[in-house]
């Protein structure tokens, strides 16, 4: 019989729920790039997607129904098909022993489900957890930079202004931008034109005047950093960019800091890359981050008026670390922890 270490390295059956969407397609790429130990891939989608094909490891894979994926009893199911699908199906997968990593907002603030960025709080996942939530894309890249700084200096409050790619809305938004740039009228997913425009409106407005996207940043940072005292107010803005979210971030710390410390902490944090050479016009941009899994941080500088204030510029590919990459990394973290030891 193989040793436990060898068994731990054995491949597992992986379902992708929402395999034909932008995030689902990116998950397939990331699974390949990270050499995830897939024994059997189970791509699933809506009824209109059943029978279509997706490519994985150079071979076409036929898309099945979610019900068929459930009957196949995978070890892990990576969900990216929207909150309603997750609410209906994720508990059913979990009930039969499958581990679900969900990319929707359905379970993020559920006290029984950990909200995880592996580099930040992977240890929040316990052996009994069967549904694990992926944070919102804007929160995800933000906490990658916040974590080492909060541990060192304790963040008291922050202000975030986002510049969010239309890919965060999906394929229909990309079609709207392309149609507008071509001078055609088509179906619009935004309340205003997006080409040659900036829309300070991501998701629906709440009664407090903030959008749901902005409230995700407020709530999710507290849960991920395990600190309700962290106050991150956000203004979320949609920009006519095809890939990559950018964030202008201002932080106020409880403790004094030196810029050299900040640079070193960020450079040392796994998954973060510092790009900050203003004299050479070197700073993070969506064009630079596209197709990459890292979170890029630059324009690092002290505030002019507050002695413990810091400014950052954070950029990441929202389909990668903001969604698909983090989902796969959670599954990889669990595999490394022996979640499926002895699986057959």
What is residue 341's predicted lDDT score, i.e. its pLDDT? 82
Closest listed residue to residue 213, CA positions, set 245, 243, 242, 188: 245
Query: How far is 113 from 147, CA to CA, in rounded Å?
Result: 20
Q: What is the pTM of this model?
A: 0.94
Domain 138-318: give its CATH superfamily.
Answer: Dihydrodipicolinate Reductase; domain 2 (3.30.360.10)
φ, ψ for residue 67 (rounded to 5)?
A: -60, -40
Q: State the CB neighbour count (10 A cutoff) for residue 22.
A: 21
Domain ranges of the chain: 4-134+323-336, 138-318
Active site residue 202: no
CB 25 within 8 A of CB 49: no
Residue in 113, 137, 202, 234 annotated catalytic: 137
Q: Structurally, what CATH architecture does the domain formed by 4-134+323-336 represent?
A: 3-Layer(aba) Sandwich (3.40)
pLDDT of residue 344: 59
SS3 289: helix
- CA-nearest of 228, 176, 221, 215 to 199 is 176
Q: What is the DSSP letter of 191?
A: S
Quick one: pLDDT at residue 4?
Answer: 36
Helix (H) or strand (E) holding 246: strand 245-253
Beta-carbon contacts of residue 210 (< 8 Å; ≥ 6 apart): 218, 234
Please identify which of the residues 129, 150, 245, 288 carries the catalytic annotation. Answer: 245
Three-class secondary structure of residue 338 per DSSP: coil
> Degrees (nearest 5) of the Cα angle 278, 235, 102?
100
How confident is the chain (344 residues) per 10-residue block, as mean pLDDT? 45 97 96 96 96 96 98 97 96 98 97 98 97 97 98 98 94 93 91 96 97 98 97 98 95 98 98 98 96 97 98 97 97 94 67
CB-facing half-sphere around the CA of 123: CA atoms within 13 A: 3
What pLDDT does residue 138 have?
A: 97
| 245 classed as catalytic | yes
């Amino acid at each position: 019989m193989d040793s436990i270490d060898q068994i731990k390295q054995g491949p597992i059956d992986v379902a992708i729920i929402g395999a034909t969407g932008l995030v689902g397609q990116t998950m397939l790429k990331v699974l390949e790039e990270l050499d995830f130990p897939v024994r059997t891939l189970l791509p699933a989608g809506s009824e209109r997607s059943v029978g279509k094909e997706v490519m994985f490891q150079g071979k076409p894979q036929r898309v099945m129904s979610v019900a068929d994926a459930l009957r196949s009893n995978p070890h892990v199911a990576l969900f990216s098909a929207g909150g309603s699908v997750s609410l209906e199906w994720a508990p059913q997968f979990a009930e039969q022993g499958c581990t679900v990593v969900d990319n929707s907002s359905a379970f993020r603030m559920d006290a029984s489900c950990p909200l995880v960025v592996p580099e930040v709080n992977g240890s929040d996942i316990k052996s009994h957890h069967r549904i694990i939530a992926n944070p919102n894309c804007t929160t995800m890249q933000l906490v990658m930079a916040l974590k080492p700084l909060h541990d060192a200096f304790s963040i008291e409050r922050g202000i975030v202004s986002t510049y969010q790619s239309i890919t965060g809305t999906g394929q229909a938004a990309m079609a709207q931008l392309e149609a507008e740039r071509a001078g055609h009228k088509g179906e619009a997913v935004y309340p205003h034109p997006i080409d040659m425009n900036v829309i300070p409106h991501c998701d629906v407005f709440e009664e407090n005047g903030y959008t749901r996207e902005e409230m995700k940043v407020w709530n999710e940072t507290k849960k991920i950093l395990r600190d309700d005292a962290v106050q991150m107010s956000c203004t979320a803005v949609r920009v006519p960019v095809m890939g990559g979210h950018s964030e202008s971030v201002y932080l106020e710390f409880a403790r004094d800091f030196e810029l050299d410390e900040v640079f070193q902490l960020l450079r040392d944090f796994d998954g973060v890359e510092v790009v900050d050479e203003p004299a050479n016009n070197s700073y993070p941009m969506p064009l630079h981050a596209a197709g990459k899994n890292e979170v890029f941080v630059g324009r690092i500088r002290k505030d002019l008026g507050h002695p413990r204030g810091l400014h950052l510029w954070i950029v990441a590919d929202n389909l990668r670390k903001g969604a698909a990459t983090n989902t796969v990394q959670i599954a990889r973290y669990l595999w490394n922890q022996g979640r499926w030891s002895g699986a057959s």
